Amino acid sequence: MEPWIALSVAAAAFQTLRFMLQKRLSMGMLSAGGATLARFWYSSPFVAALVPLYLTARELPAPAIAPSFWPYALAGGASQILATWCVVALFAQRNFAVGITFKKTEVVQTALVGFVVLGDRIPSLGIAAILVGLTGVLALSEPPEPRHRVWAGLKSRATILGIASGAFFAVSAVGYRGATLAVDSADPLLRAGLSLAIITVMQSIALSLWLVVREPGEFSRVIAVWRTALWIGLSGLAGSLCWFTAFTLQNAAMVFAVGQVEVIFSILVATMVFGERISRRELTGMALITLSVTIAVLVR
């Protein structure tokens, strides 16, 4: 097996582990905001320490950062917080595997954001992927009433949270790309690591202040569950490092295609860890969204 394939599979596995732990914490121990903070709070010290260690090991100077880094970093960091919050909140509405699959609409939505913001043309296969993905979303959305199923499904809280998470992840991806390009270094790992360290620290501070004001006592609960939350931070850091390293070895579209194995991991976790049952309708919707994402990344 080629290294980039192993790294892509590992990244998907670490990401599934992180969301599994966040779902556990959100089931009575923490709010959606607290579970989101745990992801950033317990990974920021490690990623912040890795950058100077990397600079020392490679004997590299600290790179300069262009002013354009900050708006991209702020937009990307804020969007990732909102995206993660939506996914964790979605777990309370639907089962684990469905929540992860809804998140996977991020790739298709990235194509839409690129078309609207940058004027990128979408090929016919890309349009087909979007339509297949929409069909999958409708299959996943189970409306509470039998009448007007499509409209009711689109208005459901689970569908709104799922699509919103994908949209926020798409915006964060654009922001992170802009931020890494603003770091003056020819080393892609250094650009990614430095950007990740700065943004994660900012996310931890901003979300901590928000919770102190909006959810008094939640910050203390995040600290109290450190034994579990620490693994959320470490798995999040490991997943990010695997993604970035895989991108240096292979085309991002191929890495994303292999990364769709996360849906399979989520089904295993949903059934074996949480004891959740997945209906035939949900399996159909998950298969359609996975197919649409796979088509989208291969035609980009």
DSSP class per residue in the chain: --HHHHHHHHHHHHHHHHHHHHHHHHTTTS-HHHHHHHHHHTTHHHHHHHHHHHHHHHT-PPPEE-TTHHHHHHHHHHHHHHHHHHHHHHHTTS-HHHHHHHHTTHHHHHHHHIIIII-PPPPHHHHHHHHHHHHHHHHH---SSSTTHHHHHHHSHHHHHHHHHHHHHHHHHHHHHHHHHTEE-S-HHHHHHHHHHHHHHHHHHHHHHHHHHHSTTHHHHHHHTHHHHHHHHHHHHHHHHHHHHHHHHS-HHHHHHHHTHHHHHHHHHHHHTS-----HHHHHHHHHHHHHHHHHHHH-
> How far is residue 77's CA from residue 83's CA, in Å, rounded to a whole number?
10
Q: State the average pLDDT for the chain.
A: 78
Q: What is the pLDDT of residue 118?
A: 53
Indicate the number of domains in the chain: 1
Give pLDDT tens digits for 251-297.
555 566 667 677 778 778 878 887 777 777 778 877 876 776 677 56
Q: What is the pLDDT of residue 151?
A: 47
Give pLDDT tens digits for 65-107.
999 999 989 998 999 899 888 888 877 766 666 676 667 666 6
The percentage of residues in the chain with a pLDDT greater than 90, rounded to a whole number, is 12
Q: What is the pLDDT of residue 107?
A: 66
Residue 147 pLDDT > 50, yes or no? no
Q: Which domain holds residue 144?
A: 3-299
Between residues 55 and 161, which one has the greater pLDDT?
55
With beta carbons less than 8 A apart as the criterion, state whether 20 and 72 touch.
no
> How far is residue 204's CA from residue 37's CA, in Å, rounded to a whole number?
7
Give pLDDT tens digits for 206-234.
999 998 888 888 888 888 888 888 998 88
Give residue 150's pLDDT band: very low, low, confident or very high (50, 70, 90). very low
HSE, CB side, 13 Å, CA atoms: give it for residue 58.
15
Give pLDDT tens digits for 184-200.
888 878 888 898 899 99
